[in-house]
Amino acid sequence: MNLIVDVGNTYVKLAVFKDDAIKRKDVIKLEHLLNHIDFLKKEYKSISKVILSSVGKLQDDTVNYIDEHFSLIRLNSDTNLPFTNLYSTPKTLGIDRIALVSASVNKFPENNALIIDAGTCITYDFVNNKNEYLGGAISPGIRMRYKSLHNLTANLPLLETEIPNSITGNSTNASIHSGVVHGVLKEIEGVIRDYELKYSDLTVILTGGDANFLSKQLKSSIFANSNFLLEGLNYILQFNSN
């Protein structure tokens, strides 16, 4: 069994995989990581391999502890990957994007695929039918747009995310909801349309924290999977274990 450890700035996602299937998924605070790994080690005694993806800061003693108890891969730009990386600055490519592209070539081998990760930022990543990663785009996510309207203006309120009733907002709040949510939806649909004009056989994957919220409103045909990043990390671990 494999253990996936995806470390953010405050929270950590952990997933236990048996082959390609998720047996357990947890989200914990960073300070509880070692205790939770100890718990999982006792609960799933057959865990032998771990992949660590970290955008936050981990103490050396935490990494050393994991390395002492498991066969550890720490994902970075030098990790052996299941696709050809044609990004012009490969060392700056985010490890979350690396994981998502890996999941795509595993789930949809030799497909032209656009992976959209709707989280803090919205990232677009394209891999062609030769399993070559060409790059993509990065834009502000939904919450970042709400916050920027509030933080960079004098009078606009900070609102919670909400599906707008109409494209024409009849109040300041309604106008903000319309601008943010419809703006994101039109952006995503426009990007998908541009790729579809170039690649008629395009597969589109939507993932990330806002995937469920957006998938209900998008008109485009998409494959929504909230676990896509974890599945990609597991595939990288498998790929490096063969």
* Annotation: binding site for ATP: 6-13, 120
Both 48 and 95 in one domain: the answer is no
Catalytic annotation present for 210: no
CA angle 192, 197, 203 (to 5 degrees): 50
Type of residue found at 49: K
Both 26 and 125 in one domain: the answer is no
Both 129 and 53 in one domain: the answer is no
CB count, 10 Å around CB of 1? 15
* Annotation: binding site for K(+): 117
Both 69 and 124 in one domain: the answer is no
Q: Which residue segment(s) compose the domain that 44 sits in?
A: 2-74
The Cα–Cα gap between 232 and 228 comes to: 6
Domain count within the chain? 2
pTM of the model: 0.92
Tens digit of each residue's pLDDT (9 = 90 or more) over 130-153: 999 999 999 999 999 999 999 999
Type of residue found at 132: E
- Give the active site residue among 19, 20, 96, 125: 96
The Cα–Cα gap between 161 and 176 comes to: 10
Both 195 and 98 in one domain: the answer is yes
Tens digit of each residue's pLDDT (9 = 90 or more) over 45-57: 999 999 999 876 7
CATH code of 41's domain? 3.30.420.40
